[in-house]
Structure 1
């Protein structure tokens, strides 16, 4: 049944030879890898207005110069990441760049930040998309968390079906969103040019505003920079592109940057001209759409496509997180299970873990986007700063042809990213302090995992491990609970091994049971030695463990191996297992952690 459900949800398994068919062309890649960056225009401008609103609506004109600053940062990042794509065509993005040029620990900081950031990408995108839906239908506000979790489960399932299949589905809402916003921006500008929008709705650019200071402006700039999250995703996911991957990735990056610049500028301008004020339960985009079209078809079309892209922007995390996890796993900093491809040739373990942690975040923050965005943004700008700094070091060290211009581009990108990062810590410390705690813990966890793998490798390597002690014989212990076909099956198997000695062990809780069982055993298996271990405290494992210790000490003197054969019956139906005490399972689990004891289970399958 579970297998049939799995096939229904994620489809038939794909052969390894079909991996090439799972690569993305530029059109699909733009949809699947740019949805995060493009969707951020739905909340990036709003974050600027929220900061400026603390002074008053008269300060909204500052959103225009702040938006210009964000566009300059976008240009620097696009130029910088374009160079990273060609310098590191196998992907890995900020983690690989930082590790190779700045060292292991800067690389781990970048990698750890991005892993957390991609989890936040899913949580923020889905929460913001849910906000867009509940803005249009206020009666759904109490169900924000439930709706968000349902969307995470849907996107996780979609990605388990494979990269190209999810891209084919996601391309439509992404391009519909871009079209919808272009129409809204175009109609809005036309209305302004036609004089249909009152100029009294906003203050003129340059109007003096009391209470505005450099600190507030930098805080607004840092908040608006949250619109640039997701820019790095393409450089992480180069292996997902069709050949020639670097050239296709570069063109996709430029297309994404161009669309992001136009949409961000248009929304900031319309929000300023319309005098839109940020509200708790109605998004800025919703207000602009309502003022442009009224609550008619186009309003709901824009809200619908905005909700869709915000929710599906989570897919950027699903595309980049597994590939980053693969690079970290190959370097032995996280479990190797992240390098394993699933039935549909995607890195399904990474996809599932990402979905699970995103749901935990949504529940913890109750789906409130404004509480997640600061953590989300700072988690991006730390890797931004490290990757650009790493490229600066690379150009200075290698000095390839044209390195000076490349150095200037990356230096500008590093400087601006560092300023934004510092601004986040200065202006939003109360909201992002947790990253200072969790990032060192994540890096320490990376370090411990790496140490474990190195330790295991040293112990397993033939050139370093101790030579194996030759086994002269075998002493077999068979725990028995009664005289049954299950025990008979296990004893027959034990005898077939031609062991030095086979010992059956019975643990009775009552003295009268002990004598009765010994008599029955003598008549049934007189050639197999029986040892009874009375247990007044009704424990099977403790007396059996002491007996194994005794046998092991004596067997060790003659280089004999101790083997414990555990009889176990297997019910015909899986649910029948809950009707039995599973003592064999508990015993096996206990014995597996004992040194120099081999544990074997002999199953006896029931027929009805």
Structure 2
């Protein structure tokens, strides 16, 4: 039943030879890898206004120069990550750049930040998309968390079906969103040019505003820079592109940068000119659409596509998180399970973990986008800063042809990213302080996992000249609970291997012990039986004490002890709940005992 459900949700398994068919062309890659960056247009401009409104609505004209600053940073980041794509064509992005140029710990900080950031990408995107839906349908506002969780489950399932299949589905909403915003910006600007929008709705550019400080402007700039999250995703996901992967990734990155710049500038300008004031119940994009078209088909088209891309922007996380996890797992900093491809040739363990972690975050933060965005943004600007700094070190060390312009680009990106990171810590410390706690914890966990793998490798490695002393014999202990076909099957198997077989029976009552010994001596007189009294009705304690005693004597004679556990297998899986699982408990306990071999002899029921 579970297998049938899995096939229905995920699809048939793909052969390893079909991996090439799972690569993305530029059109599909732009949709699924740019959706995060493009979707942030829906909340990035709003973040600027939310800071400026703390002074007054008269300060809204400052959103224009702040937006220009964001565009300068976007340009530096796009050019920088284009260089990273060609310098590190196998992917890995900020983690690989920082590790190779700045050292292991900076690399782990970048990698750990991005892992967390991609989890936040899913949580923020889905939460923001849910907000867009409930802005249009306020009666649904109380169900935000449930709606967000349903969307996460849907996107997780979609990604488990494979990269190309999810891209084929997600491309349409992304391009519809781009079309919708182009129409909105175009009609909005047309209305302004033709005089259909009153100039009295906004404060003229250059109007003095009392109480405005440089610190507050920098804070607004940092908040607006949240629109740049997701820019790095393409550099992490180069292996997902069709060949030539670096060239296709570079072109996709440039296209994303151009679209993001146009959409972000357009929304900021319309919000300023329309005099839009942000509120908790309705998004800025919703208010602009309402002012431009009214509550007609176009309004709901814009809201619908905005909600879709905000939700499906989570797919950027699903595309980049598994590939980043693969790089960390190959370096043995996280479990190796992240390097395993699933039935559909995607890294399904990474996809599943990402989905579960995102749902947990949505529940903790109750689906409130405002609470998540600052943590989300600072989590990506730390890798921005480290990756740009790493590239600076690379150019200074290697000095390739034309390295000076590259150095300037990366230096600009590193400086601005560092300023933005500082501003988040200075202005929103109460919302981002947790990153100072969990990042060191993550780094410690990375190193502990690495140490574990090194110790395992050391213990598994066969050293030159090393010889293993051969075993002289084997003692088999068979725990028995009665005289049944299951026990008989196990005893017959044990006696076929050695004549050193000991059956062990745990008795709770003296009378039960006497009766069982009599029956056993008549049934299996040639197999030694040991009965153990258990006054506290425990099977594990007396059995393990006896095994310890036998193991100690056996080791003196270079014998090994094997515990052979009889286990019946019911025809239907649900029948298992009707039976005690003592054999499973014994096996689970004994597996962690040293120098004891644990084996199971199955006996399958036919009815």
| TM-score using structure 2 length | 0.99
In the alignment, which residue of structure 1 is the partner of 2:287?
287
In the alignment, which residue of structure 1 is the partner of 2:42?
42
Identify which range, 94-103 or 399-408, moves more after superposition.
Answer: 399-408
Question: Could you say what the CA RMSD is over the residues aligned between the two structures, in angstroms?
Answer: 0.8
Distance 2:598 2:16 in 1: 36
Which ranges in structure 1 are unaligned for 5 or more consecutive residues? Answer: none
Whether 2:25 is the aligned partner of 1:32: answer no
Deviation per residue, 1:560-597 (Å, 9 max, x gap): 11011000111111001111110000000010000010
3-state SS of the aligned residue for 1:565?
strand
Q: 1:425 to 1:40 in 2, by over 3 A?
A: same
Distance 2:44 2:465 in 1: 57
3-state SS of the aligned residue for 1:478?
strand
Distance 1:441 1:472 in 2: 48
3-state SS of the aligned residue for 2:89?
coil
Distance 2:200 2:119 in 1: 43
Distance 1:247 1:286 in 2: 37
8 A Cα contact 1:458 1:464, kept in partner: no
Deviation per residue, 1:199-225 (Å, 9 max, x gap): 111100011111100010000000000
In the alignment, which residue of structure 1 is the partner of 2:66?
66
**Structure 1 segment 124-273 matched on structure 2, within 5 A:** 124-273=124-273
**Structure 1 segment 87-126 matched on structure 2, within 5 A:** 87-126=87-126
**Structure 1 segment 333-352 matched on structure 2, within 5 A:** 333-352=333-352
Structure 1 residue 557: deviation in Å? Answer: 1.3
Structure 1 residue 292: deviation in Å? Answer: 0.1
8 A Cα contact 1:333 1:447, kept in partner: yes
Structure 1 residue 86: deviation in Å? Answer: 0.3
Q: 1:346 to 1:44 in 2, by over 3 A?
A: same
Whether 2:12 is the aligned partner of 1:12: answer yes
3-state SS of the aligned residue for 1:539?
coil
3-state SS of the aligned residue for 1:533?
strand
Distance 1:505 1:163 in 2: 55
3-state SS of the aligned residue for 1:566?
strand
Deviation per residue, 1:96-129 (Å, 9 max, x gap): 0000000000000000000000000000000000
In the alignment, which residue of structure 1 is the partner of 2:545?
546
In the alignment, which residue of structure 2 is the partner of 1:316?
316
Whether 2:606 is the aligned partner of 1:607: answer yes
8 A Cα contact 1:473 1:500, kept in partner: no
Deviation per residue, 1:315-352 (Å, 9 max, x gap): 00000000000000000000000000000000000000
Structure 1 residue 83: deviation in Å? Answer: 0.3
Distance 1:540 1:424 in 2: 59
3-state SS of the aligned residue for 1:287?
helix
Whether 2:527 is the aligned partner of 1:528: answer yes
Distance 1:303 1:461 in 2: 60
Distance 1:415 1:112 in 2: 21
Distance 1:174 1:199 in 2: 33
Whether 2:581 is the aligned partner of 1:582: answer yes
Q: 1:600 to 1:188 in 2, by over 3 A?
A: same
8 A Cα contact 1:129 1:310, kept in partner: yes
8 A Cα contact 1:229 1:380, kept in partner: yes
Whether 2:422 is the aligned partner of 1:439: answer no
Structure 1 residue 468: deviation in Å? Answer: 2.6
3-state SS of the aligned residue for 2:196?
coil
Q: 1:51 to 1:464 in 2, by over 3 A?
A: farther
Deviation per residue, 1:116-147 (Å, 9 max, x gap): 00000000000000000000000000100000
3-state SS of the aligned residue for 1:279?
coil
Structure 1 residue 549: deviation in Å? Answer: 1.0
3-state SS of the aligned residue for 2:507?
coil
3-state SS of the aligned residue for 1:538?
coil
Structure 1 residue 464: deviation in Å? Answer: 7.6
Deviation per residue, 1:169-211 (Å, 9 max, x gap): 0000000000000000000000001111011111000111111
8 A Cα contact 1:67 1:265, kept in partner: yes
8 A Cα contact 1:76 1:410, kept in partner: yes
8 A Cα contact 1:110 1:382, kept in partner: yes
Distance 1:588 1:507 in 2: 16
Equivalenced residue count is 607
Structure 1 residue 470: deviation in Å? Answer: 1.5
In the alignment, which residue of structure 2 is the partner of 1:354?
354
Distance 2:465 2:166 in 1: 47
Distance 2:293 2:244 in 1: 44
Deviation per residue, 1:361-393 (Å, 9 max, x gap): 000000000000000000010000000000000
3-state SS of the aligned residue for 2:594?
coil
Distance 1:391 1:502 in 2: 67
Structure 1 residue 469: deviation in Å? Answer: 2.9
Whether 2:412 is the aligned partner of 1:412: answer yes
In the alignment, which residue of structure 2 is the partner of 1:565?
564
Structure 1 residue 492: deviation in Å? Answer: 0.4
Identify which range, 459-468 or 589-598, moves more after superposition.
Answer: 459-468
In the alignment, which residue of structure 2 is the partner of 1:384?
384
Deviation per residue, 1:461-505 (Å, 9 max, x gap): 0018974332101111100000000000000000111x2410100
In the alignment, which residue of structure 1 is the partner of 2:52?
52
8 A Cα contact 1:119 1:317, kept in partner: yes
In the alignment, which residue of structure 1 is the partner of 2:368?
368
Which ranges in structure 2 are unaligned for 5 or more consecutive residues? Answer: none
Deviation per residue, 1:405-459 (Å, 9 max, x gap): 1111111111111111111111111110000000000000000000000000000
Distance 2:411 2:72 in 1: 14
3-state SS of the aligned residue for 1:599?
strand
Distance 2:466 2:111 in 1: 37
Distance 1:234 1:207 in 2: 41
Deviation per residue, 1:11-69 (Å, 9 max, x gap): 11000000000000000000010000000000000000000011111110000000000
8 A Cα contact 1:566 1:602, kept in partner: yes
In the alignment, which residue of structure 2 is the partner of 1:478?
478
**Structure 1 segment 502-517 matched on structure 2, within 5 A:** 502-517=501-516
8 A Cα contact 1:93 1:232, kept in partner: yes
Distance 2:305 2:551 in 1: 70
3-state SS of the aligned residue for 2:533?
coil
Distance 1:354 1:585 in 2: 31
Distance 2:563 2:73 in 1: 67
In the alignment, which residue of structure 1 is the partner of 2:332?
332
In the alignment, which residue of structure 1 is the partner of 2:461?
461
